[in-house]
A = this chain, B = another copy of it.
Amino acid sequence: MREKFLRDVIRKIQPGNAEFESTAKRHLDSLTKPIGSLGQLEDVAAQYVAWRQQDSPSISGKAVYVFAADHGIVEQGVSAYPKDVTPQMVFNFLNGGAAINVLARQAQSDVFVVDVGVDAAFDGLKGLIDRKVRRGSRNFAKEAAMTKEELNAALQVGIDLAEEAEKQGRTLIALGEMGIGNTTAASAVAAALTGLPASQVTGKGTGLDAERCQRKVEIIDNALRMHFPERPSSFPDPLEVLRRVGGLEIAAITGMVLGAASRRIAVVIDGFICTAGAAVACALAPDARAGIFAGHQSAEPGHRILLVSMDLKPLLQLGMRLGEGTGAVLAFNLIDASLRIYNEMATFESAGISKAGI
A2 to chain B, nearest CB (A): 37
Asked if A319 is an interface residue, CB under 8 A from chain B, the answer is: yes
In angstroms, Cα B357 to Cα A315, docked, is 33
Q: Does A308 contact B (CB under 8 A)?
A: no
B337 x A106 contact (CB < 8 A): yes
Q: Is the CB of A32 within 8 A of B352?
A: no
Cβ distance A255 to chain B, nearest Cβ, rounded Å:
27
| B354 lies within 8 A of A88 (CB) | yes
A34 touches B315 (CB 8 A): no
State in angstroms the CA–CA spacing of A290 and B351 once bound together: 39
Binds B, one of A19-27, A236-244, A328-336: A328-336
For the side of the interface on A, what is the size category?
A: 35 or more
* A 256-298 binary contact with B (CB < 8 Å = 1; else 0): 0000000000000000000000000000000000000000000
Whether A318 sits at the interface, judged by CB under 8 Å, is yes
Residue pair A206, B356 in contact (C-beta under 8 Å): yes
Report if A79-B38 is in contact (Cβ < 8 Å); known contacts: A88-B352, A340-B106. no
Q: For A212, give the chain B residue with the smallest CB separation.
A: B358
Q: In the complex, A355→B315 CA distance in Å? A: 30
| Structural contact, A336 and B106, CB atoms closer than 8 A | yes
Contact A92 B353 (CB under 8 A): yes
Given A91-B351, A330-B334, does the pair A38, B320 have CB atoms closer than 8 Å? Answer: yes
Does A358 contact B38, Cβ atoms closer than 8 Å?
no
- Judged by a CB distance under 8 angstroms, whether A199 is at the interface is no
Question: Interface with B: A97-105, A148-156, A161-169, which one?
Answer: A97-105
Q: Is A39 an interface residue (CB 8 A)?
A: yes
Which of A84, A105, A346 neighbours the largest number of chain B CB atoms within 10 Å of its CB? Answer: A346
Given known contacts A39-B320, A340-B102, is B34 in contact with A353 (CB within 8 Å)?
A: no
Per-residue contact bits, chain A 65-82, to B (CB 8 Å; 1 contact, 0 not):
000000000000101111
Tell me if A34 and B92 are in contact (CB < 8 A). no
A18 / chain B contacts, CB cutoff of 8 Å? none
> Is A316 in the interface zone, CB < 8 Å from B?
yes
A322 interfacial by beta-carbon distance below 8 Å: yes
Which residues of chain A in 27-71 are interfacial with respect to chain B, using CB atoms and an 8 Å cutoff? 31-35, 37-41
Asked if residues A315 and B318 are in contact (CB atoms below 8 Å), the reply is yes
- Complex CA distance for A84 and B351, rounded to whole angstroms: 13
Q: Is A202 an interface residue (CB 8 A)?
A: no
In the assembled complex, how far is the CB of residue A29 from the closest CB belonging to chain B, in whole angstroms?
Answer: 12
- The answer to whether A356 and B40 touch (CB under 8 A), given A98-B346, A351-B97, is no
For A346, what are the chain B residues with a Cβ–Cβ distance below 8 Å? 92, 95, 97-98
The distance in angstroms between the C-alpha atoms of A106 and B334, with both chains bound, is 10
* Interface pair B81/A345, CB less than 8 Å apart: no
CB distance from A320 to the nearest CB of B (A): 4
Please, could you name 12 A-B residue pairs with CB atoms under 8 Å apart, sorted by A? A32-B98, A33-B99, A34-B207, A38-B318, A81-B358, A84-B354, A88-B352, A92-B346, A97-B344, A99-B341, A103-B340, A106-B340
Excluding A32-B97, A40-B319, A317-B317, 16 further A-B contacts by CB distance (< 8 Å) are A32-B92, A34-B321, A37-B322, A38-B318, A39-B299, A39-B318, A39-B321, A41-B318, A77-B358, A85-B354, A91-B351, A99-B345, A102-B337, A102-B344, A105-B340, A106-B337
